[in-house]
Amino acid sequence: MKMLALFAAAAMTVSFGAAAQSRGFTATPATAPAAASIMTRNTMWKCAGDRCITQRADGSHLTMCQLAAKELGTLTAFTANGEAFAPEQLAKCNVRAKGA
């Protein structure tokens, strides 16, 4: 019985961990970000490698994308709470891209 309880607890931990990882936003600019972080309105984004992420999960997905594009330039990908933007959504987002 104890083994079953331990297994159930481990399974719940894994599922909650996976859910937590899918929350927030990820922006992938065409050019790797030069800064380790950027600020859009009141949202801090942490940048590493070729992308920037924020754990903030609320707000309009399109607005969050446009704010990131305004700071980072054209985005090649954007994910909101685990869901990748479709090409037409990304095109609407990149209208606000820095230098566009």
User: Residue 55: helix, strand or coil by DSSP?
Assistant: coil
| Chain segment 55-98, per-residue pLDDT in tens | 988 889 999 999 999 999 999 999 999 999 999 999 999 999 98
pTM, two decimal places: 0.76
Within 1-100, residue ranges assigned H as helices are 2-21, 61-72, 87-94
Residues 10-55 pLDDT 10s: 444 333 333 345 789 999 999 999 999 999 998 999 999 999 999 9
